[in-house]
């Protein structure tokens, strides 16, 4: 299966830990069930572009008027610097390897598998309403690549389909289903080329609910967190309006950055509009500004209350020093978090490699044992002899080994590959937890990663 850009960014923790937790849980569950997780190389390029835009916005506040989105807002809220984002970009492929996600190129175009890309592009544009041509092209390339990987075949079961694109974009999934239903006979009722992430997560969890018991809770937390933030359409309209007011001189530069960067302003926007774009008017900004100013004053008064009693004659100087202290503290915290994240990434990569080698060793040992036992058992069945009368025990061992393996495969659906993968996950997790306990490194939210 192939993952879209927002899913990858969330899995890497670049939109916040509340959205990362359910993604990691789903990835772990899929890997244990022998699913192959991949991203197209053009999706990786789009992830880089999103992060590069975030780094560009963080270099100067003037660039923020051209940048928006959950990733950029997360960078602002958590105190990321441009260099932190650039480091994440440099480690992107290595981080994906740590999550068992492989980067692959698009399959080459074949005339028998060519779809009407112009019509598909029109359907996508009509349904989604893309603002950027390159985003539309990415989704178009992804859907046509999935079609070529499926060789144009219709699949009725998700376990047997050769490729599927997992997206967080509801309108894109609808557009894909609409186009292929109209173009290809028998597509109705089959596994779609593109499936929404929450639908796919539910389907996977229902097959193995005990393997990821906390997944529904983590998914619900992520959905609640998303519901607390303005939707894209409302946020774009809000940013356009405050930029217009700033250009006209109706609000000051300080008020603009208060409206653009402060969490109370974002919360006030949701309170006033209830997330409805049509409820946003020109006067809405004034109301939000008053609320944001009130919240900012309350924060400042709470922070300065103790010092004001002792240094009332230096009130103005104290306010400036508190502001500088906040900036230094945020920088120190951001540096510590960046160091912790880097150390977690190194531990995860080391644990993944060690688990993989242990799993390969177990697989090799199992194959050797089965081969030797079967060979010697066959010799015994054909009447060959060995010193010490060892053939009969080997023949019995081969029959018992084969019977146990067959029973496990029939009852549990287990095979040597799935067993070794589960061993790999268990060993990787044990090594990662041990190293973190030994080095004193723990995830900020207490959720262990792959």
CA angle 374, 378, 383 (to 5 degrees): 150
> Do 210 and 129 belong to one domain?
yes
- Look up tokens 């993944």; give the residue: 352
> Do 240 and 187 belong to one domain?
no
Q: Are 28 and 426 in contact (CB under 8 A)?
A: no
> Do 15 and 117 belong to one domain?
yes
> Do 295 and 367 belong to one domain?
no
> Do 34 and 166 belong to one domain?
yes
Q: Are 446 and 56 in contact (CB under 8 A)?
A: no
Please indicate, yes or no, if residue 192 is contained in any of the structural domains. Answer: yes
Please indicate, yes or no, if residue 444 is contained in any of the structural domains. Answer: no
- Alpha helix (H) residue ranges in 311-390: 315-381
> Do 284 and 413 belong to one domain?
no
> Do 306 and 434 belong to one domain?
no
DSSP annotation string for 21-37: HHHHHHHHHHHHTT--E
Task: Tell me how crowded residue 391 is: count the other CB atoms within 10 A of its CB.
Answer: 19
- Please state the domain count of the chain: 3
Task: Tell me how crowded residue 65 is: count the other CB atoms within 10 A of its CB.
Answer: 16
Domain boundary among 178, 198, 227: 227
Chain-centroid distance, C-alpha 317: 44
Tell me the β-bridge partners of 37: 101
- Look up tokens 């051209």; give the residue: 66
Please indicate, yes or no, if residue 324 is contained in any of the structural domains. Answer: no
Please indicate, yes or no, if residue 223 is contained in any of the structural domains. Answer: yes
Tell me the β-bridge partners of 39: 103
User: What per-residue confidence (pLDDT) applies to 448?
Assistant: 41
Determine the Cα–Cα distance for residues 47 and 68; give it in Å rounded to an integer.
15
Q: How many separate helices (H) and strands (E) can be counted in the chain?
A: 18, 5
Please indicate, yes or no, if residue 375 is contained in any of the structural domains. Answer: yes
Instruction: Give the strand order in the sheet containing 194-196.
Output: 101-104, 37-40, 2-3, 165-167, 194-196
Using only C-alpha atoms, the chain has a radius of gyration, in whole angstroms, of 28
> Do 198 and 236 belong to one domain?
no
Please indicate, yes or no, if residue 258 is contained in any of the structural domains. Answer: yes
> Do 173 and 103 belong to one domain?
yes
Residue in 164, 222, 219 with CA at minimum distance from that of residue 196: 164
Please indicate, yes or no, if residue 320 is contained in any of the structural domains. Answer: no
* Structural domain span for residue 337: 332-439
> Do 149 and 11 belong to one domain?
yes
> Do 220 and 242 belong to one domain?
no
Q: Are 120 and 164 in contact (CB under 8 A)?
A: no
> Do 33 and 173 belong to one domain?
yes
User: What per-residue confidence (pLDDT) applies to 258?
Assistant: 75
From first to last of the 450 residues of the chain, give the pLDDT tens digit: 888 888 888 888 887 777 888 888 888 888 888 888 999 999 999 999 888 888 887 877 666 665 667 777 777 777 788 888 889 899 999 999 999 999 999 998 888 888 888 999 999 999 888 878 888 999 999 999 999 998 888 888 887 888 999 998 889 999 999 999 888 877 777 888 999 888 888 888 887 777 767 777 776 776 666 666 676 677 777 777 777 777 778 878 777 777 777 777 777 777 777 777 777 776 777 777 777 777 767 766 676 676 666 667 666 676 777 767 777 888 788 777 788 788 888 888 888 888 888 888 877 877 776 776 667 666 655 555 555 555 556 556 655 666 666 666 666 655 667 777 888 888 888 888 888 788 776 554 444 444
User: What per-residue confidence (pLDDT) applies to 103?
Assistant: 93
Please indicate, yes or no, if residue 219 is contained in any of the structural domains. Answer: yes
Residue in 33, 38, 7, 43 with CA at minimum distance from that of residue 163: 38
Residue 327 burial class via C-beta count within 10 angstroms: exposed 0-12, middle 13-18, buried 19 and up: exposed
């Amino acid at each position: 299966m192939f993952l879209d850009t927002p899913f990858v960014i969330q899995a890497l923790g670049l939109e916040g830990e509340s959205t990362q937790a359910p993604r990691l849980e789903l990835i772990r569950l899929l890997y244990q069930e022998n699913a192959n997780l991949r991203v197209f190389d053009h999706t990786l390029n789009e992830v880089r572009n999103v992060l590069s835009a975030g780094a560009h916005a963080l270099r100067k506040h003037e660039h923020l008027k051209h940048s928006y989105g959950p990733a950029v807002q997360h960078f602002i809220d958590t105190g990321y610097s441009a260099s932190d984002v650039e480091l994440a970009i440099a480690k992107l492929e290595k981080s994906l390897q740590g999550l068992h996600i492989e980067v692959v190129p698009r399959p080459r175009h074949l005339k028998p598998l060519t779809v009407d890309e112009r019509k598909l592009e029109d359907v996508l544009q009509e349904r989604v309403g893309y603002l950027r041509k390159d985003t539309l092209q990415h989704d178009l390339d992804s859907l046509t690549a999935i079609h070529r990987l499926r060789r144009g075949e219709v699949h009725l079961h998700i376990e047997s389909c050769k490729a599927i694109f997992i997206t967080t974009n509801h309108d894109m999934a609808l557009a894909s289903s609409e186009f292929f239903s109209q173009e290809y006979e028998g597509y109705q009722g089959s596994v779609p080329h593109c499936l929404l992430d929450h639908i796919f997560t539910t389907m996977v969890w229902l097959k193995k609910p005990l393997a990821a018991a906390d997944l529904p809770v983590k998914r619900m937390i992520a959905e609640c967190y998303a519901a607390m933030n303005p939707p894209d359409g409302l946020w774009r309209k809000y940013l356009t309006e405050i930029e217009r007011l700033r250009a006209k001189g109706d609000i000051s530069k300080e008020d603009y950055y208060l409206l653009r960067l402060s969490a109370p302003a974002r919360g006030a926007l949701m309170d006033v509009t209830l997330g409805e774009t049509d409820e946003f008017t020109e006067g809405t900004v004034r109301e939000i500004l008053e609320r944001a100013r009130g919240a900012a004053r309350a924060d400042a008064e709470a922070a300065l209350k103790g010092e004001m009693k002792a240094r009332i004659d230096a009130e103005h100087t104290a306010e400036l020093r508190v502001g500088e202290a906040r900036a230094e503290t945020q920088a120190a915290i951001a540096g510590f978090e960046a160091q912790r994240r880097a150390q977690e990434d190194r531990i995860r990569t080391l644990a993944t490699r060690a688990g993989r080698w242990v799993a390969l060793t177990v697989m090799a040992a199992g194959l050797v044992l089965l081969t030797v036992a079967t060979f010697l058992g066959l010799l015994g069945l054909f009447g060959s002899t060995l010193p010490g009368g060892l053939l009969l025990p080997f023949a019995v061992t081969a029959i018992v080994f084969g019977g146990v393996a067959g029973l496990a495969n029939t009852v549990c659906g287990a095979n040597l590959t799935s067993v070794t993968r589960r061993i790999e996950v268990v060993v990787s997790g044990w090594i990662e937890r041990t190293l973190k306990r030994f080095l004193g490194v723990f995830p900020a939210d207490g959720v262990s990663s792959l």
